[in-house]
Amino acid sequence: MRKSSLLAVMALVGPVFGQATAQEPSTAIVTDEIVVRGKTGAALRLEIERAENAVFERFNEINSRDDLDIRCKSEVRTGTRIPQRVCAPIFLRDAQAAAAQSVVASLQGSAFDGGSEAFHAAWASHRYLQLEDEMRRLVREDEQLLAAMQRLLELRQTGDQRPARARADVDAPQSEDAR
């Protein structure tokens, strides 16, 4: 046993010290390596959020009315504890608050009539058309907004092209609060 261990050590050390050893010719095994570069779901989701922020920040800077500004925040919806990023124009949040105030007032028997829920929904729908018109106009006029919008669309398409399991990761709710 000692002799075989010594031979094994000599076989390993021999070439280092310039001693010839009898070895079988080595056969090299060549394997192809495929490298797939891509983004993880979390990285893509973060990049999409940053691109959305860039679009909204530029739009908010240059639009003609402050109530068209789009703000994002993290909200926890009923039935879940997972916060989700929700982006909405200021006019929509105002309409939702007015509708809620009307409901509360009517439940309390108040004479205050801030309008029906249908009225607020119709008003918000009309304002969304104005928001779309403003966004289209500004994208045509402002190169910085156009570039930010193109970047966002590219990232979203990248997320849409991912397999269904990976898309679920990209679409997963986010826990960071937006400004």
Residue 84 lies in a domain: yes
Task: Please choose, from the candidates 49, 41, 25, 2, the residue with its C-alpha nearest in 3D space to the C-alpha of residue 164.
Answer: 41
Give 32-69 pLDDT, tens digit per residue: 655 455 668 889 999 999 999 999 999 999 999 999 99
Residue 135 lies in a domain: yes
| Torsion angles phi and psi, residue 47, rounded to 5 | -65, -40
| Mean pLDDT of the residues in the chain | 76
Task: Please choose, from the candidates 114, 79, 74, 112, the residue with its C-alpha nearest in 3D space to the C-alpha of residue 94.
Answer: 114
End-to-end Cα distance, the chain: 73
Continuous segment of H or E residues that includes residue 98: helix 90-107
Residue 30 lies in a domain: no
Residue 176 lies in a domain: no
Domain span holding position 77:
41-170
Q: How many domains does the chain have?
A: 1
Residue 143 lies in a domain: yes
**40-44, 160-164, 175-179: range with lowest mean pLDDT:** 175-179
The percent of residues in the chain predicted with pLDDT above 70, rounded, is 65
Residue 83 lies in a domain: yes
90 touches 113 (CB < 8 A): no
